Amino acid sequence: MDETVRLSALIAPAYHGLHNDLKAGGHAEYWLKGGRGSAKSSFISLEIILGMMRDPRASAIVYRKVAATLRESVYEQMIWAVEQLGLGERFRYRLSPLEIERMDTGQRIMFRGADDPGKSKSIKLARGYFRYLWFEELSEFDGMEDVRTIRASVFRGTDARCATLFSYNPPKSA
């Protein structure tokens, strides 16, 4: 990480405690709700990159319900986080398949649509493990059964501390 980067300037004050908990591996699930401008996606993207820098075997996978929405949303968000942390020269960005790779370690951030959650059953990394699983715009998903199927596939065979991050906008009415 660039030594001149101040995390306190990048992470919104509302997330400082959550940052410390994630860093310590305090929980297996993190639920972040908020409207546009709540900085939840910025926070999550920064945390994934920071976590990958701390653990050279950790990779991440990011899901949205519809694959066609990945490139202009979470993929660009992750590139933003890499650049904000001053790490651009250490990462390679690919459009096909849609992924970001840390060049010196081979760690990857993969992006998938959950149009068919069954397709996640065969997901595998050649080295390392998935430490982070992010469901962006969780309210777009058909239900928690799809989420459980994906989660079981992604974390299959690992005993490491893994984190599932859920981000969503609260419903307009309770």
Give the active site residues: 137
40-54 vs 16-24: helix crossing angle, rounded to 10: 30
φ and ψ of 31, to 5 deg: -110, 115
How many Cα atoms within 13 Å fall on the side-chain side of residue 161? 10
How many Cα atoms within 13 Å fall on the side-chain side of residue 48? 35
* Dist. CA 162–CA 174, nearest whole Å: 31
